[in-house]
Amino acid sequence: MSQNRIEHKARGSSKRSRFNLVPVVTLAVGHGTVDVYGSFLAPLLPLFALRFNLSLTLVGTLVSILTVADGLSQPLFGYWGDRMRRPWLVMITPLWVAVTTAFLGLATGYAMLAVLLILSGAGRSAFHPQGAAGIAEYAGGRRGLALSLFTAGGNLGFATGPILATALVTFAGLPGTLYAMPLGIAVTALLYTMVFKGHGVRPATWTPPSLKKVLGNLARYRGGFIRLWFLVVLRSLTYFSLFSFLPIIFTHQGLSTMQTGMMISFFLLGGAVGGIVGGWLADRVHERVVIAGSLAIAFPLLQLSLMLPGVWGTAFLMLGGFCLLSSAPVTIGLAQRYAPGSAATASSLILGLGWGTGGLLVTLVGMLADRVGPVSALRIQGVCLVVAVLLALTLPSVVKFRSKR
């Protein structure tokens, strides 16, 4: 190996051994943007239900369609992302998701709405694993902090999406969703400039791992990985059940579309702040403590939010969202440590297949809601968090790398 190549490799290694704020924040902005569009659907569900005369089962199915399209294809995008040096998927997907989401308000029937949600979900699916893998490349020894910023970006996007969607629809009716398209165009340009245009997230000397190596990486901690995956399924089922049926509950309570969007945003904003705190804690204490503790506290808070009206109910909803999503960056980071060298694939199995499976199960909660009502259905479903806590307590440890500071 020539002296120039050795020096180039050393510089690249040194660059990636420290926390690199600019690309981390840029990827977080991209995450927030695709998730802005991901949460457009929730506050508009009552309007679509009225427009197309949908049952609660069909309403839940819409959320399942979106989350399955987002989730179940992520392992394919994750494996592909592990074999790409330049982050093509990260760059193009904000525009992709913006275009498909912008046309939701023009849907003329349930089938067209479902197709647009599938396309939008696939775009989000393409972004997440490569975005999370990019974060791991730029995090140095502060992966918990970097992933918490990445997750917080997505959660803030989710929190902002309902406000933006309801504001546009209040201003221009359902076709007003078209006005959301410029955001995706601008962020695609930002990602091109700040992340893609340079050398990409991997050095020129990098070679993609073989499928055998990826599977070997995943098998190293397969017992812990499987338990972690089931835990994420249960957490995401709780999250998406609340995401789906809280708007219906608030509408039945007499809240306007704008007020409903604000309430959903309170819940998601709590989750965004919780993700930052959870990632910060994970750099200091064992992930198992953060995951189990946050989910254990989330259970009673969310139950209280369904029981109490007014300000107290809103406060418990925000605190419940805070605790529920405190573990989100922690589970991603732990999955990446369970499969070193295959960060995109590991992230896709947690961010995609885990969340997507949880979203798919929302249809069952919708069927239950048609029988016992949405409030009772959410109370029953919330017991899944107790099982998730028990799984968290059995997760194996992995030695962390810490940078010198």
Q: What angle do CA 223, 326, 284 make, to 5 degrees?
A: 75
Integer Cα distance of 240 and 249 in angstroms? 14
Higher pLDDT, 198 or 249: 249
Q: What is the DSSP string of 56-87?
A: HHHHHHHHHHHHHHHHTTHHHHHHHHHT-SS-
Residue 3 CA to its chain's centroid (Å): 43
pLDDT in tens, 75-123: 777 666 666 666 677 888 899 999 999 998 888 889 898 999 999 888 8
pLDDT in tens, 241-267: 987 888 888 888 888 877 877 887 788
Is the pLDDT score of 182 beyond 90? yes
Residue 394's H or E segment, with its range, is none
CB–CB of 278/270 below 8 Å? no
CB–CB of 74/127 below 8 Å? no
On whether the pTM is more than 0.95, the answer is no
pLDDT in tens, 375-398: 999 999 989 999 999 999 998 876
Integer Cα distance of 397 and 379 in angstroms? 32
Domains plus CATH for the chain? 17-392 (1.20.1250.20)
Higher pLDDT, 337 or 219: 337
Q: Torsion over CA of 289, 293, 294 and 298, rounded to 10 degrees?
A: 160
pLDDT in tens, 131-145: 877 777 777 767 777
